[in-house]
Amino acid sequence: MKQLIPAGTLAGLLFAALWASASVATKFGVQSVHPLILANVRFFIAGGGMLLFVYGIQRPQNAWPTGTEWRQLAIFALLNTTIYLGSFVLALKQVSAGIGSLSTATNPLFIALLSALWLRRMPRWNELSGLLLGLLGVGVATYPLLQNSYATVEGLLILLVGMVSISAATVYYAGIKWRLPNLVINGWQVLLGGFQLLPFTLLFAVLEPTVFNNSHYDLRFWGSVLWLILPVSVGALQLWFYLVRQDAIRASLWLFLCPIFGFAYSYLLMGEPITLYTVAGTGLVIGGLWLGRK
């Protein structure tokens, strides 16, 4: 029986839906604790949990990293977890969840440019056209949000650093022939990213009395952590690794849908309106995805 929806398409849609939810979940979490505390708690629980599952339950053969693989995992963790997610939670203290979702749409352009430089793979005409059409759609859909959202210059610059970092991480990941299973890679890179971020968390969050005293480890905090761990850190990243292994540039096109899902979450959970701009932008995004994957 022929599959109605191709596996790659289904994986891309599910990835976009889960990845987009991170902005709203993070926005809730940083209302309770310092952003770096939220990030470190998430990284240690998520990374440790994945590794316990792999080595304690699955027990695959030859799944322990070698010397070279430790270095590769450390670099990947620095780019994909420490810098990117650390920057993301810091920025969402100063910008809205909608702008946080919008920022993911800049990744495809960075990924395409970095792929051309690092992997010596120039984008094909339909991929480049799809990227441009998708960016246009994101711009149209987010126009009212940009007009009315609160943001600081510092917050936007922090977001930019994070976007460049995750784009570099994606290209770096695609350029390595990984021997380890996806869950092992994901678990180690999240845990190592947490250890790399820990000195900054101790310096700027835990050891600062006024910040530490304002932390509230309430239901909102733990709900945010749980969502960021299971659907985002585990589910979405596993799907992302699968998509990137197929093709880094085509995988990046699915990021165009993240702001669209983000609008829906913002509307349902934060009362932000969905306008005609959103509908028109969605059409352009879908057109860009179709053209880029043709």
Q: Which of 82-86, 100-104, 148-152 has the lowest mean pLDDT?
A: 148-152
In a domain, 228, yes or no: yes
In a domain, 69, yes or no: yes
Say if residue 34's pLDDT is above 50. Answer: yes
d(CA 243, CA 254): 9
Record the tokens describing residue 149, joined without a space.
Answer: 């959202």
Record the tokens describing residue 148, joined without a space.
Answer: 């009315």
* Residue among 72, 80, 63 nearest 180 (CA): 63
CB neighbours of 24 closer than 8 A, spacing ≥ 6? Answer: 97, 262, 265, 266, 269, 270
Say which residue the tokens 């940009």 belong to. 146
Q: Which of 26-35, 135-144, 274-283 has the lowest mean pLDDT?
A: 135-144
Domain count, the chain: 1
Question: How high is the mean pLDDT of the chain?
Answer: 83
Residues 263, 104: contact at Cβ < 8 Å?
Answer: no
In a domain, 32, yes or no: yes
- Higher local confidence (pLDDT), 133 or 219: 219
Say which residue the tokens 């991170």 belong to. 22
Give the model's confidence band at 1: pLDDT under 50 very low, under 70 low, under 90 confident, else very high: very low
In a domain, 151, yes or no: yes
Q: Give CA separation, 52 vs 47, 93, 183, 225, 276, in Å.
A: 9, 32, 11, 18, 47
The sign one gets for the Cα dihedral 74, 76, 80, 84 is positive
Entry pTM: 0.80
The 10 Å Cβ neighbour count of residue 190 is 28
d(CA 259, CA 256): 7
The 10 Å Cβ neighbour count of residue 270 is 13
In a domain, 60, yes or no: yes
In a domain, 31, yes or no: yes
Record the tokens describing residue 242, joined without a space.
Answer: 């699968």
d(CA 107, CA 79): 13
> What pLDDT does residue 293 have?
61
- Higher local confidence (pLDDT), 291 or 42: 42
Q: What is the DSSP letter of 254?
A: G
Q: Which domain holds residue 174?
A: 7-292
In a domain, 113, yes or no: yes
In a domain, 2, yes or no: no
